[in-house]
Amino acid sequence: MERMILVEAGHRCAIPTCRATPVEIAHIDPWAKVLEHKPENLIALCPTCHTRYDRGEIDRQSMLTYKRQLQRLQARSAEKSVAQPSTSSRPTSPPASPSIQTAPVIDADPFPKTNIYFGDYELVWPPHLFVDEATNIIRGSQRIRDNFAAVERLLGEAFRDSNVVQDFNALSNGMLFGVPNSSKITPDEFIQELIARAYDIPIQSSPRAYWKRAQNGTIKALYRDLTKARKDFSALISNFEENGYLDQAFPRDCVDDHARDFVDPAIEIERRLGVSGAWPLNPQTWDEDTFLGLVEVFHDLVSRPREAWYHDFANCGMHYSSFATESGRKLYRWHVNRIFEGANLPYRISESGEYVGRIVG
Instruction: State the pLDDT confidence band at 35, using cuts at 50, 70 and 90.
Output: confident
Q: Which of 129-143, 242-256, 281-295 has the highest mean pLDDT?
A: 281-295
pLDDT for position 13: 81
Query: Are residues 320 and 259 part of one domain?
Result: yes
Domain that holds residue 38: 2-58
241 and 311 in one domain? yes
| 8 A C-beta contact, residue 114 and residue 183 | yes
Amino acid at 182: S
Q: Per-residue pLDDT for 4 more than 80?
A: no
List of residues 6+ apart from 226 with CB closer than 8 A: 288, 291, 343, 345
Residue 188 has a pLDDT of 84
d(CA 102, CA 104): 6
Residues 321 and 356 in one domain: yes
Q: Confirm whether 283 is domain-assigned.
A: yes
Residue 70 lies in a domain: no
**For residues 44 and 61, is the Cβ–Cβ distance under 8 A?**
no
- Residue whose C-alpha is closest to residue 269's, from 291, 252, 288, 242: 291
Is residue 178 in a domain? yes
Q: How far, in Å, CA of 101 to CA of 113, rounded?
A: 26
What's the confidence (pLDDT) of residue 97?
46
- How many Cα atoms are found within 13 Å in the side-chain-facing hemisphere of 157? 27
- Tell me which of 60-69, 167-176, 197-206 is least confident: 60-69
| Residue 244: band (very low, low, confident or very high) from pLDDT cuts 50, 70, 90 | very high
On whether residue 239 sits in a domain, the answer given is yes
pLDDT classification of 350: cutoffs 50, 70, 90: very high
Q: Is residue 212 part of a domain?
A: no
CA distance 154 to 145: 14
Helix (H) or strand (E) run with residue 349 in it: strand 348-349
Residue-averaged pLDDT of the chain: 79
Count of other CB atoms within 10 angstroms of residue 278: 20
Higher pLDDT, 181 or 250: 250
297 with 257, same domain: the answer is yes
253 and 175 part of one domain = no
Question: Is the four-CA dihedral 49, 50, 53, 54 of positive or negative sign?
Answer: negative
Same domain? 116 vs 23: no
283 and 344 in a single domain? The answer is: yes
Tell me, yes or no, if the pTM score tops 0.85: no
Assess if residue 85 is contained within a domain: no
**182/244 same-domain check:** no
Identify which of 94-103, 184-193, 332-341 has the greatest average pLDDT.
332-341
Considering its fold, how many domains does the chain have in total?
Answer: 3
Residue 304 covered by a domain: yes
CA distance 75 to 93: 14
Domain final residue pick, 168, 200, 232: 200
Instruction: Return the higher-pLDDT residue of 61 and 262.
Output: 262
In a domain, 79, yes or no: no
Q: With pLDDT > 90 as the criterion, what percentage of the chain qualifies? A: 40
Output the CA torsion 327→127→150→306 (10° steps).
Answer: 20
Task: For residues 339 and 297, state if they share a domain.
Answer: yes
* Whether 279 and 350 share a structural domain: yes
Q: What is the dihedral of CA 300, 349, 123, 145, to 10 degrees?
A: -30
**CA torsion, ordered 319, 325, 331, 335, to nearest 10 deg:** 90
What single letter denotes the amino acid at residue 3? R
- DSSP strand pairing (42-45 vs 304-311): unpaired
Q: What are the pLDDT digits (tens) for 64-121? A: 666 666 666 666 666 655 555 544 444 444 444 444 443 333 344 433 445 577 878 9
What does R_g of the chain's alpha carbons equal in angstroms? 23
Is there a contact between 12 and 47 (Cβ–Cβ < 8 Å)? Answer: no
Phi (first) and psi of residue 360, to 5 degrees: -125, 155
Q: How many CA atoms lie within 13 A of 333 on its CB side?
A: 20
Model pLDDT for residues 279-310, shown as the tens digit of each residue: 999 999 999 999 999 999 999 999 999 999 99
For residue 50, give every residue at least 6 positions away whose Cβ sits within 8 Å of its Cβ, in sequence order, or none: 24, 26
Least confident range of 84-93, 225-234, 344-353: 84-93
